[in-house]
Structure 1
Amino acid sequence: MYKEANAGTENTVQNAARDVLGVLNRLKIYPYTLIGHSYGGKVAMSMVHQFGRALPRPVQVWVLDTVPGDVWCDDVGDHPRDTIRFCTTLSRPIDSRRALVESLTGAGFTIEGAQWMTTNLKADGNGKFDWTFDLDGIAEMYASYEAYDLWPMLETQPAGLSLDFVQAERSAFVWTPEDVDRIRRTGANVHLLKNSAHWVHIDNPLGLLDILEPSFENMERGFGK
């Protein structure tokens, strides 16, 4: 049984998972299904790992396009770590969204990535812009995401867990055949989502739903018992 503890102040996967478990504990609920994408996938796995040897009821966990161990990107565009590091060098406040795009593309980042970064700006009330988040905290979170090893959770799964991974066909992350085989040897499943890069819910939402749907049907049958 999960026992609530102080989450601490570090911006890590473990503390994010502890925060969510703390909320669920206070509300006295526990979901039948957990779905986590990217960083959230490791948060979902960490929640299970922190809970202990047995879950209060059968739980289905879906991990969308992230691996349990080291995370790194192919050379296919903007690396999040590089984007974060570059943004920490920019003077603040930022003059405009266009200025941010020009700074990023001038440093070699893609126009698509630069435009997406403008969605993380907020007006400062003086005609300029600042970040909606703490960049130093984001850097800590991403470093934790890359390094946090959740293979021990897979290899000592608690009773009641069903675990499935979705691998994007054009994922920026490297899914080695060895990692896929290792996941499957633990009893977890790996599903390949065709025609999708990392943003699986945007690139191929219907294909993703087709993969997830059987587990929802199983959950509905469980409700009827």
Structure 2
Amino acid sequence: MAGILNFPSCGQGEISIAVAGRGLRFFSTSSIKQRMTTTVSRPFEDDIFHSHRLALSHSRRISKITRPSIQMALVERLPCDKKVAKTSEILAYDLVQGALVKRSSVMDKSIPDPPTAVLLHGILGSRKNWGSFARRLAQEFPTWQFLLVDLRCHGDSASIKKRGPHTVGSTALDVLKLVAYLRVTPRVLIGHSFGGKVALSMVEQAAKPLARPVRVWVLDATPGKVRAGGDGEDHPAELIAFLSRLPKQGQLSSKQVVVDALVQEGFSMDVAQWVVTNLRQTNPPSSSSLNFSWVFDLNGIAEMYKSYEGTNLWKIVDDVPRGVHVNFLKAERSLHRWALEDLQRIHAAEELAADEGGGVQMHVLEDAGHWVHADNPDGLFRILSSTFGGI
């Protein structure tokens, strides 16, 4: 069962606690006492924590390396002597904790970190996409905690005026800075679609603060070229372009008007209903008329999607760093086309990585379209469970 501990926006809350020299405010609730799955939530926003990058070694090892034992490891944190994170610049996030996670471990770093998984949404999504799935994981694996993040230009992080360019790489660095600020060491990275490439880019950019071993799950995305689906299927680029032609912020009268417009344009009802979850009422409920605005930064998202299409991260798969295991999951009814060359290249990397202290593996999720965590959550849960049970 679960109690909820919230991190509200900066300047609110009742209990002030210093973590690594930074004041964090916790909003206490009566549900904390119930000790269910704990959710630590805060619309923190992305920071300029430290621009120093630690390079990954991609040198091949000729002799076979014994796979390292999987255990909790203390890793060096990113230094913070040059640029200090600002609480107003940290990405919005939720931290869902299992019942056996010691609550004080979030604040008291004398207690070893619980194993942490980071869950990343795709384009036009938000951390809420992962909410129910993360709570289910926390109930099944009560010693784990799950960090759900609103990526730049999305959700509660959209209010942050982020410096461009809005790319896969800059988005990954955002998340690396967040985990450094929170002083957690992710053991698992799970990214859906755009978030899958972000997870791969996190591995590419820094060996730390990522622990070793670390398992990466790329859900229905390839490392390289993005191939849109066939005729009659939804195209994200076209969806973004259409949304940009809708009335400006605060001029949308209802969610249903947007749903109808999307369906009339040829988008599926499922996608239309999903997109309008990003609408928020901008005038008081007592007003005679209703106005809605998007919670995301659509211009920034358009730039992010363009980067997603053009970013090539095959080198991480072809030359997987030691201690990293990359899992690809293809939806049976994927929105994107998985070319034969993509599948062949992933399978070729499986054998090579196994001999060099890393790992690559391919999975297929049956009875699911691109929205894997909504279409077949039970199947996805079964596939992912092996990761958490093995660490």
**2:387 aligns with one of 203, 215, 219:** 215
Give me the whole-angstrom Cα distance separating, in 2, the residues matched to 1:54 and 1:26: 10
Residue matched to 1:159:
322
Residue matched to 1:142:
305
SS state of the match for residue 159, structure 1?
coil
1:191 aligns with 2:347: no
SS state of the match for residue 195, structure 1?
strand
SS state of the match for residue 169, structure 1?
strand
SS state of the match for residue 33, structure 1?
strand
Give me the whole-angstrom Cα distance separating, in 1, the residues matched to 2:334 and 2:310: 18
- After TM superposition, what 4+ stretches of structure 1 lie above 3 angstroms from structure 2? 1-8, 52-56
Residue matched to 2:378:
206
Closer, same or farther in 2 for the Cα pair 1:55/1:101, shift >3 Å? closer
* Bigger relative contact order (CA 8 A; separation at least 6): 1
* Preserved CA contact (<8 Å) 2:176 2:209: no
Residue matched to 1:223:
none
TM-score (norm 1): 0.89
- Using the aligned pairs only, state the percent identity: 42
Residue matched to 2:199:
44
Closer, same or farther in 2 for the Cα pair 1:68/1:128, shift >3 Å? same
| Per-residue CA distance 1:156-186 (angstroms, 9 max, x = gap) | 2211101111111111111122211101212
Closer, same or farther in 2 for the Cα pair 1:142/1:217, shift >3 Å? same
Higher percent of residues as helix:
1
1:175 aligns with 2:324: no
RMSD: 2.3
Report the Cα offset of residue 40 of structure 1. Answer: 0.9
Residue matched to 2:267:
109
| Per-residue CA distance 1:108-154 (angstroms, 9 max, x = gap) | 22233222222111112162111111110111111111111110111
SS state of the match for residue 190, structure 2?
strand
Which 5+ residue runs of structure 1 have no aligned equivalent?
Answer: 220-225
Q: Which has the larger radius of gyration?
A: 2
Report the Cα offset of residue 77 of structure 1. Answer: 2.2
Letter paired with 1:25: A
Give me the whole-angstrom Cα distance separating, in 1, the residues matched to 2:209 and 2:346: 20
Residue matched to 1:60:
215
